[in-house]
């Protein structure tokens, strides 16, 4: 018979007795045996959920700050969830300059190209190298500014797709418009602290889930 908590009414008051039932005691005993396994499962889920949370909120924050499409930021984030017994998840964030053409939808006009609130005077949107069109400017143009074309270097046409390329046998060197992501670096510690707070919150939820699962008789991790 499973008794558990009960109450008694008397002439001058009532008595409430709180105690676990026989079924609950048995469940707790079984849970105690499975604590290491249940705790490991809870930690894995908590870390992986926190990684997804961090990836979502980081990409949104960077997109707002740098005026970049969220999809482009997410391509710079790579999650490494928990696998096996190593209780450690990682989120890699690539902060090399991002091609301006990926920050939004480029619009060509007679005076240049605009995209995501930025304007590149004297530039043109065209497929010069590779399969996709980018925003380029001739380095001899009076509108060329190194600040709008970071991480640029002169390379041969057969070289890498980033930086400068030489068009028509180096007579008209071009530079590709990019957006620097260096300004997001100071926020790393802030995101780590927020993620740590979030992890603690999710850990509590996952441990409670494991406990309630056993109390309800579903004693499997």
- Residue 215: enclosing H or E segment and its boundaries? helix 188-215
Say if residue 176's pLDDT is above 50: yes
Q: Is residue 10 part of a domain?
A: no
- Note the pLDDT of residue 112: 93
Which one, of 172, 170, 151, lies nearest residue 162 by Cα?
Answer: 151
- Note the pLDDT of residue 113: 95
- Note the pLDDT of residue 1: 45
Average pLDDT, the chain: 80
pLDDT band at 13 (very low <50, low <70, confident <90, very high): low
3-state DSSP call for residue 86? strand
Same domain, 60 and 43: yes
Query: Hey, how many other C-beta atoms are within 10 angstroms of the C-beta on 209?
Result: 13
Same domain, 167 and 119: yes
Mean pLDDT, residues 143-156 taken together: 71
Same domain, 175 and 189: no
Give the contacts of 83 (CB within 8 A, at least 6 positions apart).
none
Q: Is residue 20 part of a domain?
A: no
Same domain, 55 and 81: yes
Q: Is residue 37 part of a domain?
A: yes
Cβ atoms of 120 and 113 within 8 Å: the answer is yes
- Note the pLDDT of residue 160: 45
Q: Please state the domain count of the chain.
A: 2
Query: Hey, how many other C-beta atoms are within 10 angstroms of the C-beta on 137?
Result: 22
Mean pLDDT, residues 115-142 taken together: 89
Say if residue 7's pLDDT is above 70: no
Say if residue 191's pLDDT is above 50: yes
Q: Is residue 4 part of a domain?
A: no
- Note the pLDDT of residue 159: 45
Which phi and psi angles does 76 have, rounded to 5°?
-90, -5
Range of the domain at 38: 26-95+183-215
Residues comprising the chain, all counted: 221
Q: Which residue is listed with tokens 């609950």? A: 24
> What does the pLDDT look like over 91-112, one tens digit per residue?
888 888 999 999 999 999 999 9
Cβ atoms of 69 and 116 within 8 Å: the answer is yes
- Note the pLDDT of residue 18: 55
Mean pLDDT, residues 196-206 taken together: 90
Q: How far is CA 55 from CA 62, 122, 192, in A?
A: 11, 36, 11
The reported pTM is: 0.69
Give the contacts of 73 (CB within 8 A, at least 6 positions apart).
58, 59, 62, 63, 66
Q: Is residue 137 part of a domain?
A: yes
- Note the pLDDT of residue 123: 92
Same domain, 90 and 188: yes
> What does the pLDDT look like over 56-100, one tens digit per residue?
999 999 999 999 999 999 998 888 888 877 788 888 888 889 999
């Amino acid at each position: 018979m499973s008794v558990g908590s009960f109450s008694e009414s008397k002439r001058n008051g009532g008595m409430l007795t709180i105690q676990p039932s026989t079924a609950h005691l048995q469940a707790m005993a079984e849970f105690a045996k499975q604590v290491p396994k249940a705790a490991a499962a809870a930690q894995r889920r908590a870390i992986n959920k926190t990684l997804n949370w961090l990836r979502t909120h980081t990409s949104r924050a960077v997109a707002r700050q740098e005026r970049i499409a969220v999809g482009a930021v997410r391509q710079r984030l790579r999650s490494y969830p928990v696998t096996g017994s190593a209780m450690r998840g990682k989120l890699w964030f690539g902060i090399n300059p991002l091609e301006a053409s990926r920050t939004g939808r480029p619009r060509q006009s007679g005076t240049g190209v605009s995209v995501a609130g930025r304007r590149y005077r004297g530039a043109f949107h065209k497929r010069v190298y590779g399969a996709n069109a980018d925003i380029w400017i001739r380095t001899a143009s009076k509108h060329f500014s190194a600040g709008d074309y970071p991480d640029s270097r002169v390379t041969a046409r057969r070289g890498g797709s980033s930086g400068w390329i030489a068009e028509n046998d180096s007579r008209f060197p071009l530079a590709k418009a990019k957006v620097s992501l260096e300004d997001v670096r100071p926020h790393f510690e802030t995101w780590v602290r927020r993620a740590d707070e979030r992890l603690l919150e999710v850990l509590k939820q996952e441990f409670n889930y494991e406990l309630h699962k056993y109390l309800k008789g579903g004693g499997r991790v």
